[in-house]
Amino acid sequence: MKSGVIMQIKTHSRRAAARDLAWRLREKKTFGLVAFATAILCGAAGSAQPPSVPDLNGAYVLEDVEGSGSWTGMQTRYPKADLLNPQAGGPGGGGRGGGRGMATDGKPHGPGETYVVGNGGCGTSGVPGMYSRSAAISIVQGKDAVIMAAEVPGARHIYMSAKHPDFSALPRSAMGYSTGHYEGDSLVIDTVKLAGGMVAGGGRIGPDTHLTEKYRLLPGGKRLELTFTWSDPSIYRKPHTYQMFYAKQPADSVALEEWCDSSDPRQKESITPPPQQ
Amino acid sequence: MKGLRNVSSRAITVTNRLPTIPGRRSKRVKVFQKPLISGPLSYRDKPSCNKSDASPPVRKYRVTVQENLCTFAPVGRRARPVGGVAASAVLLVLTGVGAFAQGGRGAAPAPPSDPHDLSGVWELRYDSANVARASLLPAVNDAALNTQLAKDRHAVRWCNYVGLPQLMNGTIDIVQSDREVVISSEARSIVRHIYSDGRKHVSLETFDNTTNGNSIGSWQGNTFVVDTVGFSDQGVTGIPGGGFRTTGSHLVERFRLLSGDRMVVTSTWTDPKVYAKPQVYQYIYYRSDPNYVPRLTACDPFDEERAQLLTDGPRGQ
């Protein structure tokens, strides 16, 4: 009797163990299937992931790589634009009333002498002028946008998502409208609808001008290479390309403010720099 | 006091009864409950409320006040472990009550997907501001206020950079990286850089004070707390509620996402030369249409008609 009970218990236990084993196997099988599907999905997701994003965050200051010694001098070092109509004039590009650095009286001025260059109106950020200033450029890489700002009013908002606003109905502006993407170690930006103005190397901006910029950190990570390419079949015979270089500032740098008050009469003036060493 | 954070992080433990394996203990899993109700209830059109609006528990819910915002939160602490059926019933009841409680204006506002992601374009609306009258020091008399007003009018007349707090009084564009949060404004102002990489304030002995000052930020729970010093006294210096920014001003801002694509920013100004007690005000921003492209407001200091209007005031036609 006793053994019969034990037998029953053992039998029951065996059956229970068998059921448990079946559950476990089923669970394992299910787990295996889930694991297999997950691995496939992960693999697919991995192959569909965007390329790694280069870290361009930080502040950058324009370098005078040619040693031209002045901001105006730097402008003369860029390759000349191949224009369809070199005689056609363009709108002035100076931030203080046009022709920055050019005396309005047309007379030569000696070193240290001040002269009037414009009306004294304070400029705002604009493309490409903001990249030629002595003030630092900040690059901030967000989730769906990159912000580029100088230390004057305004900022470029570069849409990094394929889903961006429709720019077609918007008016031309100093910043234009930009979309961007990453290509390997570079940030590539396309910009349209820029307001008129001058471009380094004698180029111009028209209503249909297209700008492509490529930002890349050079080996070592301390210098930024920026390649501008301007294309507009109504202005250029071939795309106008040139490069600028920037020194990356220490990570703990802070953005400053290039203060400007249009009511200050000194805002109208410039000064001839002394001879450079 | 309960807040949205408490509601959204509330968890209940339920007993998983599917399937039950003979000889094995049933599994216990933790289910994180979605925010049942987040955001004001009957206060949906009221951006703020006073502490007097706080109510005793009614029908398992309580209206509470957090940073002057009315919040409708379920009463009670973490739920005890209950059975699956019971848990489902509780969830169903709570959700049903919540949906009912949201009122008859369509679906409930969606909770913020990532409470630490402030990025986007945000705008103020007519009901955005909750500003109290400032408590000024006796030295800040009418003469001092008139001097400050004249300076601000000069800054507007000549298209100077407006700086804080004026740049926050309109549409703002926030982009954040893992090191900083930048805020650009349609107002004529420098971009705000709020460094969130753990750094301290820059030394004010070497810093050239600016209209935006030097800002550092950090997350405290779901609130982004921004601390700003190093202001200049240039630009448009007026502070909502009264008083003005000086080189000795200190600003603390608390950014927090609300449900329904809204963000609340609580600003607290202190200044030993201006305020008898901290000046606190609150703005609720609404997320802009995703197709809206913010642009810097144009300003021409040499526009004579504009200059005449700003300096002489309107004249008879």
Tell me how close the Cα of A66 comes to any Cα of chain B, in angstroms: 30
pLDDT tier at A15 (50, 70, 90 boundaries)?
low
Determine the pLDDT at residue A186.
97
pLDDT tier at B316 (50, 70, 90 boundaries)?
low
Determine the pLDDT at residue A106.
72
In this complex, the residue of A157, A170, A177 whose CB is nearest that of residue B173 is A157
pLDDT at residue B67 is higher than 80: no
pLDDT per position as a tens digit, B85-133: 333 333 333 333 333 333 333 455 666 678 999 999 999 999 999 999 9
Position with higher pLDDT, A262 vs B232:
B232
Paired sense of beta strands B172-176 and B180-185, if any:
antiparallel
Q: Left, alpha or beta for A154 (phi > 0: left; psi -120 to 50: alpha)?
A: left
Determine the pLDDT at residue B55.
40
**Most A-contacting residue of B182, B194, B287, B304 (CB-CB within 10 A), to test interface:** B182
Contact B69, B50 (CB under 8 A): no
In this complex, the residue of B184, B291, B301 whose CB is nearest that of residue A121 is B301
Determine the pLDDT at residue B62.
38
Tell me how close the Cα of A271 comes to any Cα of chain B, in angstroms: 23
- What is the chain A residue with the closest CA to B292? A165
pLDDT tier at A259 (50, 70, 90 boundaries)?
confident
Determine the pLDDT at residue A158.
97
ipTM score here? 0.76
pLDDT at residue B41 is higher than 70: no
Contact A145, A158 (CB under 8 A): yes
Tell me how close the Cα of A82 comes to any Cα of chain B, in angstroms: 32
Lowest mean pLDDT among A93-107, B145-159, B205-219: A93-107
Q: Whole-prediction pTM value? A: 0.72
- CA-to-CA distance for B61 and B44, rounded, in angstroms? 16
pLDDT per position as a tens digit, A48-57: 445 589 999 9
Tell me how close the Cα of A79 comes to any Cα of chain B, in angstroms: 32
pLDDT tier at A145 (50, 70, 90 boundaries)?
very high
- What is the per-residue DSSP string for B100-139? HHT-SSSSPPPPPS-TT---EEEE--TT-EEEPPP-B-TT
In this complex, the residue of B19, B173, B202 whose CB is nearest that of residue A254 is B202
What interhelical angle do B142-157 and B304-312 show, nearest 10?
170
The average pLDDT across A14-21 equals: 52
Determine the pLDDT at residue A112.
79
In this complex, the residue of A140, A157, A262 whose CB is nearest that of residue B177 is A140
B167 to chain A: which residues are within 8 Å by CB?
Answer: none
A147 to chain B: which residues are within 8 Å by CB?
Answer: 173, 175, 182, 184, 191
pLDDT per position as a tens digit, A164-214: 999 999 999 999 999 999 999 999 999 999 998 889 999 999 999 999 999
Tell me how close the Cα of B1 comes to any Cα of chain A, in angstroms: 34
pLDDT tier at A70 (50, 70, 90 boundaries)?
low
| Interacting residues of B72 by C-beta distance below 8 A, sequence separation 6+ | B37, B39, B40, B41, B61, B62, B63, B64, B101
The average pLDDT across B68-83 equals: 33
The answer to whether the CB atoms of B19 and A23 lie below 8 A apart is yes
**Most A-contacting residue of B171, B176, B177 (CB-CB within 10 A), to test interface:** B177
Range with the largest mean pLDDT of A35-44, B5-14, B272-281 = B272-281
- CA-to-CA distance for B233 and B243, rounded, in angstroms? 12
